[in-house]
Amino acid sequence: MLKKIILALLFSHITFANPDTDIAASAQSSFLKGINAYQSGEFESARDLFKETASLQPKNKVAYYNWGLSEMQLNNLGWSVALYRKALELSPGFKEAQFALKYVLDKLPNSINEYKPEGIEAFRSNVIKYSPWHLLFFLSLLFFLLSGLIFIKYFGLRKQALSEELPMPKFPIFGAIFSILFVFSLFCIGLKSFEFFEVKATLIVETAKLHTGPSDEDTVLFEVFAGQDLFLTQKYDDWLQVKIPGGVTGWLPAKNLYLTTENRL
């Protein structure tokens, strides 16, 4: 089942922007060579070729996905998880990556602390993350204009009723509804803006020791395992301070992590 989905994807997502440019041509060449290498069972070559494609086109979700497939075939499950998450960061609705990520997480030899958001954070992770910026801005503008027009008309009629001693107009229920929706859309935009400040990474090595400080001499808290999703809080030399779902904070060597979001540290 998984193999069929993988092969279907390899053939169905060969799309490259600006195909006439040298970079796009090189990326497409690497991508196609990667597919041939993958189908031939040369997974190390396929990995290197898809990695090259991703370096040429950092926004190419399929390059990361196929790179992740190659790592999975090489049993580098931490890398595979990280790359699927990177593909999903670029395209949250990427169904094949969602399926592949779940498949690999189930294959991990050691259990990891999955981040399970609750309340507003769950709404942000399950709804806002999948809502594009342009849609949120369009809806907020639409609700603002609709509520504004309705209330302008209402206050105009109210002013006329007061000056001419006419019955007062009914309160515009739809205007109030659109006003509430406008405020809610602004709230959603505020939640969406957290993406600019959130930096996440995945542990790519089989195991790593979480330290209390940025050196091997600092006390070891416990071990974390391949595929662990981590929030990054700060950087010191070649070490990164991470927060594990559940609230524990510690330090790991940067070489053991792969950033799945933009590096804003």
Model pLDDT for residues 29-68, shown as the tens digit of each residue: 999 999 999 999 999 999 999 999 999 999 999 999 999 9
User: What is the distance between the alpha carbons of residues 56 and 23, in angstroms, rounded to a whole number?
Assistant: 6
Domains 2-107 and 200-259 share a fold: no
DSSP state of 207: E
- Edge-to-edge strand order for the sheet containing 207-211? 220-225, 207-211, 249-253, 239-243, 229-236, 200-203, 257-259
pLDDT at 8: 39
Range 86-93 average pLDDT: 90
Pairing mode, strands 229-236 and 200-203 = antiparallel
As beta bridge partners, residue 203 has 257
pLDDT at 194: 81
CB 114 within 8 A of CB 27: no
- Which residue from 90, 121, 127 is spatially nearest to 245, judged by alpha carbons? 121
- Which residue from 200, 207, 203 is spatially nearest to 228, judged by alpha carbons? 203
Q: Which residues contact 251 (CB under 8 A, 6 or more apart)?
A: 210, 211, 212, 213, 214, 215, 218, 236, 239, 240, 241, 242
CB 242 within 8 A of CB 232: yes
pLDDT at 85: 94
Query: What's the whole-number average pLDDT of the chain?
Result: 87
For residue range 145-161, what is the model confidence (pLDDT) as tens digits? 999 999 999 999 999 88
Domain residue spans in the chain?
Answer: 2-107, 133-195, 200-259
Question: Sorting pLDDT into bands at 50, 70 and 90, what band is 84?
Answer: very high
CATH no. of 2-107: 1.25.40.10
CB 34 within 8 A of CB 14: no
CB 228 within 8 A of CB 242: no
pLDDT at 263: 60
Paired tokens of 209: 């020791």
pLDDT at 111: 72
Torsion of CA 93, 228, 244, 224, to 10 degrees: 180
H-helix or E-strand spanning residue 239: strand 239-243
User: What is the distance between the alpha carbons of residues 127 and 137, in angstroms, rounded to a whole number?
Assistant: 15
- Domain 200-259 listed as CATH 2.30.30.40: yes
